[in-house]
Amino acid sequence: MPQLPATDAPALPHPDLVAAIPRLRRYARVLTGDAARADDLVQDTLARAWEKRRLWQTGSDLRAWLFTIMHNVHINQLALARRDAANVSLDADPGNPSWQLPVRANQLDRVELLEVVQQIGRLPPDQREVLLLAAVEELRYEEIASILSIPMGTVMSRLSRARDKLRRLIDEPASTLRVVK
Amino acid sequence: MNTGSQMPISDTDVHAYVDGQLAPGRVVRLEASLATDPGLAARISEMRAQNATLRDALDAVLSEPIPEELLAAATAPDTRASLSRRWLAPLFAVAASLVVGVGLGWFGRDALIERTGTPTTFARQAAFAHALYAADVNRPVEIWANEEKRLVTWLTKRLGFGVHAPDLNGLGYALVGGRLVAGNEKPTALFMYENADKERLSLQVRRQAPGTGETAFRYAAENGVGVFYWIDDACGYAISGNVDRAQLLKIAHVVYGQLAAAEASAPK
């Protein structure tokens, strides 16, 4: 990959970049549903951020910018993976991830949390993204619209549908994913 | 949801309230409605509980240690380059001491060839990398075998083609882990194995340059490091270790058989 000349390209603030990694990993894990693929996605996102560093406006929210890059990298990778589906042999189908998200082991209500995590994976990806960015990453709706390149109205309708659907999934009686301690 | 005041509370306002981004003026109005609308109050409390549960379930990721690759990726690429240049000198010193330690003639000649810029053959590179990393007791690999899946995903990505670590447990060698090694042009994947006597083997895999279509097993041994290598389907494989030729050939056959089987079953 060609690198931009170091002289006129602004440097990204390294401490802020490092500080953003845990949240990028968390979001990536929800996007991919797999710890290893999530870290690969974070790595690709950081690499892309350095390539595109000219596009970052000093002083603007670095985290929102990184989420935007991650969203785009992920979308592109999914498209490539779908196109090359026949050649992808080492991992599960990226469009249908097996969920391996961690849950704190010492939680009293671990069963409930585990189930919630499983159910997040059953949300449609576009709803999942909006819900996670709003509820977990606590980003403003305008930022979410900008990250995902969608209108505000779409953010709100996806958020509303995601919340309803997740509630229904969790309330479903005799859920197939219910775990016995 | 109408409180009897001028305007109904919109769905958007309810979400914004739950997510803490409703304008202060509207918060007052919404909270006034809560007192008289139990349905709204229940809905909001449920949404808040859902938010809290989501955070609770996913916060665990935040406290995980950050992998070194990600920390490296956060560093400016130009800084990374100068860092690696700075690290090159000590690395050569380590390599040089190994040259002496491992046993001279061949490695010394090889170092000379490298200095004059002649590309080193695969077998020599394999022996050199094996001598360098197998001697490192604490850090022979970059990713340990307990994260084999991550290791394989990473190496596959860096090499640009699918690799996996053959299972040599049947021969008494357990996977230690793996790393990436610089090659003449393309990077090489290195898998390290160890037996109960702490003897180590390494399997190295790389993409061959076009036009090198040999397939026969070849053997090279210099000062105790034996290397069996072969080229198959545009990939070069080298298995290196401080074991005798017969033992190494046996290992090489097992590795070859497993790779062939994996290839036959992989979707094309």
Domain containing A71 — which CATH number?
A: 1.10.1740.10
pLDDT band (50, 70, 90) for residue B90: very low
- Evaluate if residue A107 carries a pLDDT over 60: no
Q: Are residues B43 and B163 in the same domain?
A: no
- Are B69 and A159 a contacting pair at CB < 8 A? no
pLDDT value, residue B222: 67
Total domains present in chain A: 2
**How far is the alpha carbon of A40 from chain B, nearest alpha carbon, in Å?**
8
**N-term to C-term CA, chain A:** 50
User: Residue B84: which region, alpha, beta or left (left: phi > 0; alpha: psi -120 to 50)?
Assistant: alpha
pLDDT band (50, 70, 90) for residue B107: very low
Q: Are residues A58 and A108 in the same domain?
A: no
Range with top average pLDDT, A94-103, A113-122, A167-176, B88-97: A113-122
The span from the CA of A86 to the CA of B259, in Å, is 19
- Are B58 and A90 a contacting pair at CB < 8 A? no
- Evaluate if residue B62 carries a pLDDT over 80: yes
- Evaluate if residue B89 carries a pLDDT over 90: no
Q: Are residues A33 and A70 in the same domain?
A: yes
Q: pTM of this prediction?
A: 0.53
DSSP A110-168: HHHHHHHHHHHTTS-HHHHHHHIIIIIS---HHHHHHHHT--HHHHHHHHHHHHHHHHH
Q: How many CB atoms lie within 10 A of CB A67?
A: 26
- Evaluate if residue B19 carries a pLDDT over 70: yes
**How far is the alpha carbon of A56 from chain B, nearest alpha carbon, in Å?**
14
Q: Are residues B207 and B86 in the same domain?
A: yes
Contacts of A141 in chain B (CB under 8 A): 16, 19, 21
The answer to whether A25 and A42 have CB atoms below 8 angstroms apart is yes
The rounded Cα B186 to chain-centroid distance in angstroms is 16
pLDDT value, residue B17: 94
pLDDT value, residue A101: 60
How would you classify the pairing of strands B143-144 and B225-232? unpaired
B11 at A interface, C-beta within 8 A: yes
Q: Are residues B39 and B125 in the same domain?
A: no
Q: Are residues B133 and B224 in the same domain?
A: yes
How much is the average pLDDT of A166-170? 88
Q: What is the CATH number of the domain that holds A129?
A: 1.10.10.10
pLDDT value, residue A99: 56
Q: Are residues A75 and A56 in the same domain?
A: yes
B16 at A interface, C-beta within 8 A: yes
Nearest in space to A164 (alpha carbons), one of B49, B38, B47, B56? B47
Range of the domain at B166: 68-265
- Evaluate if residue A27 carries a pLDDT over 90: yes
- Quick one: closest CA in A to B60, which residue? A104
Model pLDDT for residues B124-145, shown as the tens digit of each residue: 888 888 888 888 888 889 899 9
The DSSP bridge partners found for residue A156 are none
Total domains present in chain B: 2
**Torsion angle (degrees, nearest 10) of CA B109, B112, B118, B120:** 50
Q: Which of B57, B60, B162 sits opposite A89 (nearest CB)?
A: B162
Q: Are residues A110 and A90 in the same domain?
A: no
pLDDT value, residue B137: 83
pLDDT value, residue A91: 40
Q: Show which of B42, B61, B80 is a domain's final residue.
A: B61
Q: Are residues B38 and B129 in the same domain?
A: no
A49: its two tokens:
């951020």
The answer to whether A6 and B75 have CB atoms below 8 angstroms apart is no
Q: Which of A29, A42, A113 sits opposite B70 (nearest CB)?
A: A42
Q: Are residues A76 and A130 in the same domain?
A: no
Q: Note whether ipTM > 0.95 here.
A: no
Q: Are residues B109 and B220 in the same domain?
A: yes
pLDDT band (50, 70, 90) for residue B68: confident
Mutate to test the interface with A, among B15, B69, B70, B83 (most CBs of A within 10 A): B70
- Evaluate if residue B260 carries a pLDDT over 80: no
pLDDT band (50, 70, 90) for residue B117: very low
For B10, list phi and psi in degrees, rounded to 5: -80, 160
A6 lies in some domain: no
Q: Are residues B41 and B108 in the same domain?
A: no
A4 lies in some domain: no
- Are B156 and A90 a contacting pair at CB < 8 A? yes
pLDDT value, residue B176: 93
Q: Are residues A129 and A58 in the same domain?
A: no
A18 lies in some domain: yes
- Are B76 and A101 a contacting pair at CB < 8 A? no
Q: Show which of A77, A97, A117 is a domain's final residue.
A: A97
- Evaluate if residue A103 carries a pLDDT over 80: no
B46: its two tokens:
């449920």
- Evaluate if residue B214 carries a pLDDT over 90: no
How much is the average pLDDT of A23-42? 90
Q: Are residues B245 and B135 in the same domain?
A: yes
B6 lies in some domain: no
Q: Are residues A53 and A22 in the same domain?
A: yes
More confident residue, A82 or B120: A82
The rounded Cα B14 to chain-centroid distance in angstroms is 45
Model pLDDT for residues B154-197, shown as the tens digit of each residue: 998 888 888 888 999 888 999 999 999 887 677 899 999 999 98
Range of the domain at A16: 11-97
Q: Are residues B125 and B56 in the same domain?
A: no
The span from the CA of A145 to the CA of A129, in Å, is 11
Mutate to test the interface with A, among B55, B58, B148 (most CBs of A within 10 A): B58
Q: Which of B51, B150, B164 sits opposite A135 (nearest CB)?
A: B51
More confident residue, B101 or A145: A145
How much is the average pLDDT of A142-164? 95
Please list, in sequence order, all residues whose beta carbon lies within 8 angstroms of the beta carbon of residue B267, skipping any fewer than 6 positions away: A86, A87, A89
The DSSP bridge partners found for residue A40 are none
Q: What part of A 51-80 touches B (C-beta under 8 Å)?
A: none
Q: Show which of A97, A116, A136 is a domain's final residue.
A: A97
Pairs of residues, one from chain A and one from chain B, whose beta carbons lie less than 8 Å apart: 129
HSE (CB half, 13 Å, CA atoms) of B65? 3
